[in-house]
């Protein structure tokens, strides 16, 4: 009898849950005045949100039948907001997303294929390698906006002090230079790495792998036990063994700041591989000393032929779960926001917003319109490297795979594993993740 009651109770509870899950409105497609209401989810800061709101006002003046609401959340909450709100009737109509999330968003119907006219616009207005990244299942999935890539950053004042003329171009030079720039008495390391942050750990290492002729994946097969990958991991172990890399100076926190950044800012790290987006953080923290920061291509390994930094991009997608009229309005807004008429001097409004953060826009027309701004020594070095960049592989399970590689890499950095064992473990874990995601 008790069992029967319990069984009935569970069935009732599950029925109630199902009803709760099914509850909800049909969405807010139309406002009180008959406008189509759409929303834009972003992780930008207050200044950029203000600029976006100004652009929205201009768009709404031209398109009085569409209302755009901007929703801003911190970067750390962006993906979780999409997960919890994406499929709800009042979820965001448009969202700014990291390209690594795209396959999952496409699989779960949250990244709509662009209409033909929009797809043509993107194909003709953006570099081919970026369009490839955001093309999934033969469909363009949005507008690429910011692009980031990795290069060697170095402290010119420390180089001058040590009598070193130029940044290293090969791994042998990297080890020699790092050794010369290391001074334990001053708490100074020659070459800094980053830990406790998946992308911060893996992207710089993968830039060295790519500049050594290696790759992370070949299609859906992990390549972590290949020669160039093992050589790169061995380079990390050698730099630590030389004393040129001090693991304890490497940590990052949830804000993607922390000791690794502080040590470079304070002149305690002579060289580090980082992406262009940290220009804002560096210039704010270093003040006039920011002029000491030099940027150079990634040093080339013994098995490589040319320098190449890992790149990744962000794009704006339209929610496939939104009502058709909302999707249509969203594509119209994005075309306008990314078009040359919305910004200043031939730039798009999106280009202007990105440049205000010191981030490279990806639209060819925006790069031309901001040529003067992009000619500063820091950014121009990145712009020069852009054509040869290696996009980070975009696969299902990419986030989990990145963390798995990060863990093994950190085991090498902190001396709890040798390169061969660590990469062997990383290979089996990465392949398992890829196989599971592909099922």
Partner 1 sequence: MTITRQAAPAAPVATAKLGGPSDRKWAAIFVSPAVLIMTAFMLVPILLTLWISLHEWSMLTPIGDMTWRGLGNYADLIGDPAFRGSMRNTIVYVLLVVALTVPLAVLLGLLLYFPRVGGKGAVRTALFATYVIPTVAIAMVWGALYAPTYGPFDQILGWFGISGVGWLSSPSTALISLVIFHVWQMVGYYTVLVVAGLTQIPGDLYEVARVDGAGFWRQTVSITLPMLGRTMTFIVLVAVVNAVQVFDPIYILTQGGPAGSTDIVSFSIQRAAFQYGLAGQASAMAFSLFIVMIAVVAAIMAAMRRRR
Chain residues binding partner 1 by CB under 8 A are 10, 13-14, 16-18, 21-22, 79-80, 82-84, 86-87, 104-105, 107-110, 187, 195-197, 247-254, 258-259, 262, 266, 268, 397, 399-400, 403-404, 406-407, 410-411, 413-414, 416
Q: What are the CA-CA distances from residue 47 to residues 54, 56, 353 (Å)? A: 11, 14, 9
Element (H, E) at 154: strand 143-155
Cα 258 from chain centre = 18
- Helix (H, G, I), strand (E, B), or coil: what is residue 194? coil
Closer residue to partner 1, CB minimum distance, 213 or 397? 397
Contact (Cβ atoms closer than 8 angstroms) between residue 44 and residue 72? yes
Q: How far is the CB of 312 from partner 1 (least distance, A)?
A: 16
- Helix (H, G, I), strand (E, B), or coil: what is residue 390? strand
Distance CA 196, CA 201 (A): 7
Q: How far is the CB of 404 from partner 1 (least distance, A)?
A: 8
Closer residue to partner 1, CB minimum distance, 184 or 387? 184
Rounded to the nearest 5°, which phi and psi values hold at 57? -60, -45
**DSSP annotation of 306:** S
Contact (Cβ atoms closer than 8 angstroms) between residue 325 and residue 301? no
Closer residue to partner 1, CB minimum distance, 168 or 398? 398
Closer residue to partner 1, CB minimum distance, 89 or 339? 89
**DSSP annotation of 170:** B
Q: How far is the CB of 185 from partner 1 (least distance, A)?
A: 11
Contact (Cβ atoms closer than 8 angstroms) between residue 351 and residue 345? no
Q: How far is the CB of 377 from partner 1 (least distance, A)?
A: 28
Closer residue to partner 1, CB minimum distance, 58 or 432? 432
Distance CA 50, CA 58 (A): 13
Closest C-alpha among 179, 173, 183 to residue 152: 173
Joined tokens for residue 190: 């020659």
Q: How far is the CB of 29 from partner 1 (least distance, A)?
A: 18
Q: How far is the CB of 55 from partner 1 (least distance, A)?
A: 28
Rounded to the nearest 5°, which phi and psi values hold at 358? 75, 20
Closer residue to partner 1, CB minimum distance, 25 or 124? 25
Contact (Cβ atoms closer than 8 angstroms) between residue 232 and residue 301? yes
Contact (Cβ atoms closer than 8 angstroms) between residue 151 and residue 276? yes
Q: How far is the CB of 247 from partner 1 (least distance, A)?
A: 7
Closer residue to partner 1, CB minimum distance, 59 or 101? 101
Closer residue to partner 1, CB minimum distance, 80 or 421? 80
Q: How far is the CB of 429 from partner 1 (least distance, A)?
A: 8
């Amino acid at each position: 009898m008790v069992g029967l009651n319990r069984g009935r109770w569970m069935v009732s509870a599950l029925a109630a849950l199902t009803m709760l899950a099914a509850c909800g409105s049909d969405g807010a497609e139309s406002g009180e005045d008959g406008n189509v209401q759409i929303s834009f989810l972003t992780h930008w800061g207050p200044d950029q949100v203000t600029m976006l709101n100004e652009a929205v006002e201009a768009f709404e003046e031209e398109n009085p039948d569409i209302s755009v609401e901007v929703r801003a959340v911190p970067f750390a909450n962006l993906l979780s907001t999409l997960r919890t709100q994406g499929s709800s009737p009042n979820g965001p109509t448009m969202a700014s997303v990291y390209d690594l999330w795209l396959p999952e968003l496409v699989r779960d119907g949250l990244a709509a294929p662009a209409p033909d006219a929009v797809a043509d616009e993107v194909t003709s207005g953006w570099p081919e390698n970026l369009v490839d990244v955001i093309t999934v299942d033969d469909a363009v999935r949005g507008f690429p906006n910011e692009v980031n890539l990795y290069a060697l950053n170095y402290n010119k004042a420390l180089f001058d002090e040590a009598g070193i003329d130029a940044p290293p171009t090969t791994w042998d030079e990297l080890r020699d230079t790092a050794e010369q720039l290391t001074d334990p008495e001053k708490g100074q390391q020659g070459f800094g790495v980053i830990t406790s942050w998946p992308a911060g750990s893996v992207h710089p290492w993968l830039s060295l792998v790519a500049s050594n002729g290696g790759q992370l994946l070949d299609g859906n097969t992990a390549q972590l036990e290949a020669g160039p990958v093992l050589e790169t991991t061995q380079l990390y172990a050698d730099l630590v063994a030389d004393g040129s890399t001090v693991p304890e100076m490497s940590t990052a926190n949830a804000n993607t700041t922390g000791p690794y950044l502080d040590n470079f800012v304070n002149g305690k790290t002579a060289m580090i591989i980082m992406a262009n987006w940290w220009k804002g953080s560096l210039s704010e923290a270093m003040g006039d000393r920011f002029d000491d920061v030099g940027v150079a291509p990634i040093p080339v390994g013994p098995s490589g032929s040319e320098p190449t930094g890992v790149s990744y991009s962000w794009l704006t997608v339209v929610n496939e779960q939104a009502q058709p009229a909302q999707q249509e309005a969203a594509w119209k807004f994005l075309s306008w926001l990314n078009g040359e008429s919305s910004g200043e001097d031939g730039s798009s409004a999106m280009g202007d917003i990105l440049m205000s953060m010191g981030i490279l826009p990806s639209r060819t027309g925006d790069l031309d319109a901001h040529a003067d701004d992009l000619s500063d020594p820091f950014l121009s070095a990145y712009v020069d490297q852009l054509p040869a960049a290696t996009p980070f592989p975009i696969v299902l399970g990419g986030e989990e795979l990145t963390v798995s590689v990060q863990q093994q890499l950190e085991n090498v950095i902190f001396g709890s594993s040798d390169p061969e064992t660590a990469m062997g473990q990383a290979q089996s874990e990465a392949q398992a993740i890829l196989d599971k995601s592909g099922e």
